């Protein structure tokens, strides 16, 4: 695995966390209520309706076969707009023989780990139509999910545009290592920094956990569910126990005026 591309976050146990009152009282709390024991629990269950795996598929009539799980995406609108890491989309664009069609995969009836053959929805999108900026890609599904048959399938995320303090506890939900169902892990914000690349400042959040392939593009969120960033890369060779995320403020220009508010 190249630490500077596909990523995930290593698992670790976390004791009881108290969600700051200012966060718990946000509008997201109406969707994902916190608990006295662990305020992340309700939020994580809601976030499972916000994410999907980014897949290369081969379509045969009404059926589709996953050829490769390229990364993770999360929805930013009820219509089917989503964000993922730019390198996930660029890799899919590079060789259409290996990736003849692109789709977001969602469960037909909700994630059910106990089901041997979980019914799934194949939701295609055009990789060539994605907009890319600051290591982030903004795309839209070919089918509008806001219709009556699909609008309950997803829960678009809400954003926190501010930069969290060092030590802030966060979570991320995605599809590392080609897993079928979403996996959630915890991390802490180790630092906020602004390195210069190609004569341009590129803000980044450093997380204190290592990467797994497949987490690229996953949302990084607070205990109230607000997304503070998007996972982009693993740490460098000298710091393999770290992960890098772009803060939400970096992708703000990719979003519509409605999604910014």
Mean pLDDT, residues 66-70 taken together: 91
Q: Nearest to residue 159, comparing CAs of 177, 136, 142?
A: 136
The more confidently predicted of residues 45 and 25 is 45
Mean pLDDT, residues 97-125 taken together: 87
Taking the alpha carbons of 34, 203, 132, 239 in that order, is the dihedral positive or negative? negative
How confident is the model at residue 173, as a pLDDT?
Answer: 96
How confident is the model at residue 5, as a pLDDT?
Answer: 37
Range from 107-116, 117-126, 142-151 that averages highest in pLDDT: 117-126
The more confidently predicted of residues 257 and 133 is 133
Structure confidence by residue, pLDDT tens digits, 194-249: 988 888 888 999 999 877 889 999 999 999 999 999 999 876 665 567 899 999 98
Least confident of 75-79, 134-138, 194-198, 236-240: 236-240
How confident is the model at residue 213, as a pLDDT?
Answer: 87
* Mean pLDDT score of the chain: 81
Mean pLDDT, residues 162-175 taken together: 96
Q: How confident is the model at residue 255 (pLDDT cuts 50, 70, 90)?
A: confident
Domains of the chain: 21-47+157-260 (2.40.10.10), 51-140 (2.40.10)
How confident is the model at residue 185, as a pLDDT?
Answer: 92
């Amino acid at each position: 695995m190249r630490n500077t591309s596909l990523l995930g976050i290593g698992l670790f146990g976390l004791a009881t966390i108290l969600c700051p009152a200012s966060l718990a009282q946000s509008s997201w709390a109406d969707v994902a209520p916190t608990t006295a024991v662990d305020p992340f629990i309700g939020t994580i269950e809601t976030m499972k309706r916000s994410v999907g795996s980014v897949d290369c598929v081969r379509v045969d009539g009404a059926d589709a076969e996953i050829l490769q799980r390229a990364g993770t995406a999360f929805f930013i609108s009820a219509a089917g707009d989503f964000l993922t890491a730019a390198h996930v989309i660029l890799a899919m664009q590079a060789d259409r023989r290996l990736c003849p069609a692109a789709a977001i995969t969602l469960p037909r009836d909700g994630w059910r780990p106990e089901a041997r053959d979980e019914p799934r929805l194949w939701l295609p999108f055009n990789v060539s139509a994605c907009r890319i900026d600051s290591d982030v890609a903004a795309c839209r599904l070919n089918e509008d999910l806001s219709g009556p048959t699909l609008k309950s399938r997803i829960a678009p995320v809400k954003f926190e545009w501010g930069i969290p303090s060092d030590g802030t506890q966060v979570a991320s939900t995605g599809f590392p290592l080609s897993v079928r169902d979403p996996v959630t892990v915890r991390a802490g914000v180790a630092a906020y920094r602004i390195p210069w690349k190609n004569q341009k400042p590129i803000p980044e959040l450093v997380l204190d956990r290592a990467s797994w392939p497949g987490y690229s593009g996953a949302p990084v969120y607070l205990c109230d569910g607000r997304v503070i960033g998007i996972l982009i890369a693993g740490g460098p060779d000298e710091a393999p126990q770290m992960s890098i995320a772009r803060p939400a403020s970096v992708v703000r220009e990719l979003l519509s005026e409605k999604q910014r508010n």
